[in-house]
A and B are shown apart, each in its own frame.
Chain A
Amino acid sequence: MISDEVGYNGKVEGDVIVTKADAVINWIRKHSVWPMPMGLACCAIELMASAASRYDISRFGMEVMRFSPRQSDCMIVAGTVTYKMAEVVRRIYDQMGDPKWVVAMGACASTGGMYRSYAVMQGVDNIVPVDVYISGCPPRPEALLDAMMKLQDKIAKEPSVGNLRKAKAVSAG
């Protein structure tokens, strides 16, 4: 029987581990998420705090914050998304390579928050698909870390090989 277990548990002799391709790919992916810090307002301060030593997001392999969408695969939308900014957020999302994930951090990014007004988009999910929402105004760094662990769980369950095949079929026309 092929085990779903991802870590090496020493049941097989020598340096051989038998597992599913999905499990390996997802295991690698979930421990090397490169976030794109989309800091749009006050929540970005908490995002920065979670990268600093006290909360230390590098414990999850996520400390490589990239300010270029082409080098990152998880957009953390931290802050208020105005209608004027929404276009930019989408363009940056489009420039990120697949596979990619989006975390809506805080009340503003999730729902527009307290900004019920003509200028603010009522939730970034109007413009990009969101994987994890975080409540709070602002959420504490712990909440962000919790969300990132949820995202890791989500990545672990993805049919990565199937997705790759699908993408290949699409590009082959």
Chain B
Amino acid sequence: MIDDGFIKSLLEKKGSLSRRESIDCLTLDCPADQLKDVVLSFRDDEGFDLLVDLTAIDHGEDAEVRFSVVLHFYSLVHRGYVRLHVLCSDNENPSVPSVSDISPAANWHERETYDMFGIKFTGHPDLKRILMWDEYPYFPLRKEFPLAGIDTPLPAADVVEVTKASVEPAPMMGGPFVSSSDGVMSDSEPRALDESWTEEMEKPS
């Protein structure tokens, strides 16, 4: 566990950090321009040298600050996690400094975050899509993007010519296929939650 004395001294040392309410681990708000400094001192001075996760949050189209990037660090010294929460100032072209030169583990995470949310990581050595193909025009984990997908051409023109295939919205009847988290395993296998409507039968309103 991370003790309160350490948190206090950390906040005194790093004036730009402020504590943020969180239901689990210690969470600190960090201004984007201070991020690299903080990550460097986390690694070299504070013992938080293991970057476990880096992702982003979309707070919704109407939110004042739409995107924030979150970084999770683990410390083998303190045996605990700390989360850095960085707000992206620009809602249209969100960007955050890349930390992949300090923590190479961030490299692919940043690419994934860019792929899914469209957040630019300035200074990243090779910021391109990692899951979707390069020409894909959308950022699928943004709130306005439908889970079923959007009509899009496939990248390979010659394959498309032969097969006439394209990206089509997936049929969503029955809702997304999910597994309920409770009950015995045989009852919680993935299935349509709402089977009252199909492609032929209208969704009851």
A interface residue numbers (CB < 8 A to B)? 83-84, 86-87, 90-91, 112-122, 126-128, 137
The CA-CA distance from A87 to B191 in the complex, in Å, is: 28
CB closest residue in chain A, given B145: A118
Bound CA span A87–B162, Å: 11
Which A residues are CB-close (under 8 A) to B189? 137
26 A–B contacts from the bound complex (CB under 8 Å): A84-B133, A86-B154, A86-B159, A86-B165, A87-B154, A87-B155, A87-B156, A87-B159, A90-B156, A91-B159, A112-B170, A116-B148, A116-B170, A116-B172, A116-B176, A116-B177, A117-B147, A117-B148, A117-B176, A118-B140, A118-B167, A119-B149, A120-B170, A121-B165, A137-B189, A137-B190
How many B residues, CB 8 Å from partner?
28
B163/A116 in contact, CB under 8 A: no
- Are A116's CB and B171's CB within 8 A? yes
Q: Mark B132-152, 1 if CB is under 8 A from A, else 0.
A: 110000001000011111100
Of B131, B147, B162, B165, which one neighbours A116 at CB under 8 angstroms? Answer: B147
Interface string of B185-205 (1 = CB under 8 A from A): 000011100000000000000
The verdict on B168 contacting chain A, using a C-beta distance below 8 Å, is yes
Query: When A114-B190, A117-B148, A118-B145 are in contact, do A90 and B159 touch as well, CB less than 8 Å?
Result: yes
A126 to B162, CA, bound (A): 11
Q: Tell me, in angstroms, the Cα distance from A91 to B163 when the chains sit together.
A: 11
Q: Given the complex, which residues of A lie within 8 Å of B132, measured CB to CB?
A: 84, 119
Interface of A is mostly: loop
List chain A residues, Cβ under 8 A from B177: 113-116
A122 to B170: give the CA distance in the assembly, Å: 7
A126 touches B165 (CB 8 A): yes
Given A117-B149, A118-B147; 17 other pairs, CB 8 A cutoff: A83-B133, A84-B132, A86-B159, A87-B154, A114-B191, A115-B177, A116-B147, A116-B171, A116-B172, A116-B176, A118-B150, A119-B132, A121-B165, A126-B165, A127-B163, A127-B165, A137-B189
Residues of A contacting B131 with CB < 8 Å?
84, 119
Cα A150 to Cα B66 in complex, Å, equals 55
Q: Which residues of A contact B162 (CB under 8 A)?
A: 90
The answer for the CA separation of A90 and B133 in the assembled complex, in Å, is: 16
Q: Smallest CB–CB gap between A43 and chain B, Å?
A: 14
Given contacts A115-B177, A116-B148, contact A83 B167 (CB under 8 A): yes
* B156 to A, closest residue via Cβ: A87
In the bound complex, CA of A115 to CA of B121 (Å): 30
CB neighbours of B148 from chain A (8 A): 116-118
- CA of A120 to CA of B177 in the docked complex: distance in angstroms? 13
Q: Which of B45-93 contact A (CB under 8 A)?
A: none
The residue in chain B whose Cβ has the minimal distance to the Cβ of A83 is: B167
Q: With A and B bound together, what is the CA distance between A90 and B155 in angstroms?
A: 13
Q: Report if A127-B159 is in contact (Cβ < 8 Å); known contacts: A86-B154, A114-B190, A118-B140.
A: yes
Complex: A87 Cα to B154 Cα, angstroms: 8
CA distance A31 to B162 in the complex (A): 31
Which of B145, B149, B155, B176: most chain A Cβ within 10 A?
B149
Q: Is the CB of A126 within 8 A of B167?
A: no
In the assembled complex, which residues on chain B have CB atoms less than 8 Å from the CB atom of A121? Answer: 165
Q: 4 tightest A-B contacts by CB?
A: A118-B149, A114-B177, A116-B170, A114-B190
B49 CB, nearest partner CB in chain A, Å = 33
Q: How far is the CA of A60 from the CA of B102 in the complex (A)?
A: 56
Nearest A-chain residue to B146, judged by Cβ: A118
Whole-angstrom distance from the CB of B160 to the nearest CB of chain A?
9
